[in-house]
Chain A
Amino acid sequence: MAKEGSQEPVIQLQRLTKLFGHGDATTVALDNLDLVIQKGEFVAIMGPSGCGKTTLLNLLGLLDTPTHGEYLLDGKSAEDLSERQRAKVRRNQIGFIFQSFNLLNRMNIIENVTLPLTYKGMRRMKRLTKASELLKTFGLQEREYYMPNQMSGGQLQRVAIARALVNNPSIILADEPTGNLDTKSSEIIMKELSEIHQQGNTIIMVTHNPDLTVWADRIIHMVDGRIDRDSKYPQLPEDENAKRPLNHYSRSTVRTTKGNS
């Protein structure tokens, strides 16, 4: 425990709740979630479909705002940020990696990688040089001018990782980065992520594949919008959550709405 106290955590969530919809159709995607993530951690988040993993990543990545609860990013509250400032944080501190790669199909590979730098206002030549260097480290220097539809899923995901890294973000958020890939490509991607982690980056990765958690140094299991198990705190009693007073959204409501969606 003393280890963490020495430095400021990158991410602190306090009783974070996210609701979708109104009235009877309300879904509790995140339910009073508490979480602290230190700099340099490689966190794997697991859990059944619909338990709120993507919602959590979106909130961490400032793409979405919590219904209530507190989110401190680098010790600063994310609540007071304007839309502009949030975009700036996304651009400078956060790198997203998606299951479906999410490259822009009309742009070639290198343009896709430079895109975050474009929004930063960097000069074109400088951008291209930087992206080119990065693509080289991914062994993709020969594909710089390929279009996304000319490449394999594994290659696309490496391009997406390059794009996420190009701004030297402090946090990488990866939502099932290997979900669309075969075992071999998955392995390559995981090695890349592991390398990035070894360079001191914080990585938060959602995955359904238990085999991949070996790459992570912390595994969090989520159920119904809250943390069920956290490998970092195995001493925490299994039924700790259950002892907490139930909030006014009953579990059954949550299940019903989830069943509908």
Chain B
Amino acid sequence: MIGNHIRIALSSLRASKVRTALTTLGIIIGVTAITLVLALGEGAKQAVGQQINKRGSDVITVRPGKVERNEDGKITGYNLTAAIGATTITESDLRSVQDVPGVSKAAPIMLITGSVRDGETRAKSSAIVATSPALKDVANLELRYGQFLTDKTNRQTAIIGNELAVELYGTENALGRQLTLRNQPFTIIGILKKVDHAAIVTGFDYNKSAFVSLDAGKSFNQGIAQIQEISVIPADQKQSDQVAERIENVLLRNHDGEEDFAVIRSDEAVQIANSIFRLLISITTAIASISLIVGGIGIMNIMLVNVTERTREIGIRKAIGATNGSILSQFLIEAMLMSLTGGIIGIALAYLIAIFLSGFVGYLPALSAPILLIAFSVSLFVGIIFGIFPALRAARKDPIQALRQLP
């Protein structure tokens, strides 16, 4: 019986193709918008989560700026502006952190603004990072050629990321080549293997950066270390919480009790990123939903016109034995077919657009089953919600009045 209803509905829809297509278009746009927002949002969330996790789940990060925590120690807010603004972390903080019991390695990250050049060729969007030998272990860096910074390497040496090497020298093997950082000459002693994670808040790309010693970094900055981040690995992963607490206490003493820094564990970093994304995703989804509601109203509108136009048809169908229920199903199925078709096309379209966009945004949109399911059920839901009223109207038509209507 349901097969018959679908066939009846399909033949009615086919009979007015343009109208059906335009109505479906409204749903296509709505579902595309929602799916796109969800897929891009979820993709971004996953990408960031992966990047954080790849650095090792046991990394503790010290950053400028203050986090707010509730009584259970859960992060409830993070002052992003402070994190990006002038840093409050000093070289003596670094030394204190290194001396905290239970700390295995601590690497500073000092971003230096300035050009990266090979003679006249200037690298695009590359960063200069002053750090310590410890970064190699802290960030899981591996070398393609040469070596990383050591305590013995001199100030004029640099290690560069894989993509930077190719960009400037046309080859990964740039060992021994000269590099100009902020108009100072450096010799390349190592090239990194490709790294597939980025630094989270500091936001530089390992593959496009040049790494120099902290001393070299200071020389670019009137001898002062401007540390944006200290990444720490504890000796014992299980002690991570205690180590973080000790670091916090030591730094608090250094800063005369002023809490102008934050000690964040990597799972907390994921949590911060997630809460930011969740907020963004829900705002954009809400906006995208409006277009779907408009699409649904389009369906309701057209179905009401259909019911009025087909009053006589309803009368005939009832005369030859259609129950109110079958008339209701017929019109409801028509609405649902339109919204479902729109939904399926919309989902497909959203993924095409998302894949196209991924070239620009730098990560893959999430093609997850829950998103597919959400998009699919939302379109089904729209069909039912906006189709039920016209369908009820059709079902309740009095056959006598309906048959009296002129054809």
Residues of A within 8 A of B (CB): 58, 61, 63-64, 83-84, 87-88, 90-92, 96, 98, 100, 102-104, 106-107, 111, 115-116, 118-121, 124, 163, 167
Contact = CB atoms under 8 A, between A and B. Distances in A.
Contacts of A124: 3-4, 7
B333 to A, nearest CB: 14
Contacts of A84: 323-325
A172 B46 CA distance: 69
Contacts of A58: 400
Contact of B11 (A63, A106, A116, A120): A106
B15 to A, nearest CB: 4
A83 B317 CA distance: 14
A147 to B, nearest CB: 11
B322 A87 contact: yes
B12 interface: yes
B1 A102 contact: no
Nearest to B326: A119
Contact of B318 (A87, A103, A106, A118): A87
A64 B319 CA distance: 10
Nearest to A118: B4
Given A87-B321, A116-B320, 7 more contacts: A58-B400, A83-B323, A96-B319, A104-B313, A106-B12, A119-B322, A124-B4
A121 B5 CA distance: 10
Given A63-B400, A102-B403, A107-B11, A119 B321 contact: yes
A58 B324 CA distance: 17
Contacts of A121: 1, 4
Interface string B1-37: 1011001100110010000000000000000000000
A63 B319 CA distance: 7
Given A83-B324, A118-B8, A102 B400 contact: no
A-B complex: 8 closest residue pairs judged by Cβ atoms: A91-B321, A106-B15, A87-B323, A119-B321, A116-B320, A90-B321, A63-B399, A102-B316
B407 interface: yes
Given A102-B316, A104-B316, A116 B400 contact: no
Interface string B314-339: 01111111111110000000000000
A111 B315 CA distance: 17
B356 to A, nearest CB: 39
A102 B319 CA distance: 10
Interface of B: 1, 3-4, 7-8, 11-12, 15, 312-313, 315-326, 399-400, 403, 407
Contact of B321 (A88, A98, A102, A103): A88
Main secondary structure of the interface of A (DSSP, over half): helix
Contacts of A120: 321
Contacts of B400: 58, 63-64
Given A102-B316, A107-B11, A92 B4 contact: no
B74 to A, nearest CB: 58
Contacts of A116: 320-321
25 contacts: A58-B400, A63-B318, A64-B399, A64-B400, A83-B323, A84-B324, A87-B321, A87-B322, A87-B323, A88-B323, A90-B318, A102-B315, A102-B316, A102-B319, A102-B403, A104-B316, A106-B11, A106-B12, A107-B11, A111-B11, A115-B317, A118-B4, A121-B1, A163-B320, A167-B321
Nearest to A101: B407
Contacts of A118: 4, 8
A137 to B, nearest CB: 19
Nearest to B12: A106
Contacts of B316: 102-104
A28 to B, nearest CB: 16
Contacts of A107: 11
A58 B4 CA distance: 27
Contacts of B324: 83-84, 87
A100 B406 CA distance: 10
A203 B315 CA distance: 22
A223 B259 CA distance: 101
B315 to A, nearest CB: 8
A29 B316 CA distance: 22
Nearest to A82: B323
Contacts of A100: 407
Contacts of A111: 11
Given A58-B400, A84-B325, A102-B403, A90 B11 contact: no
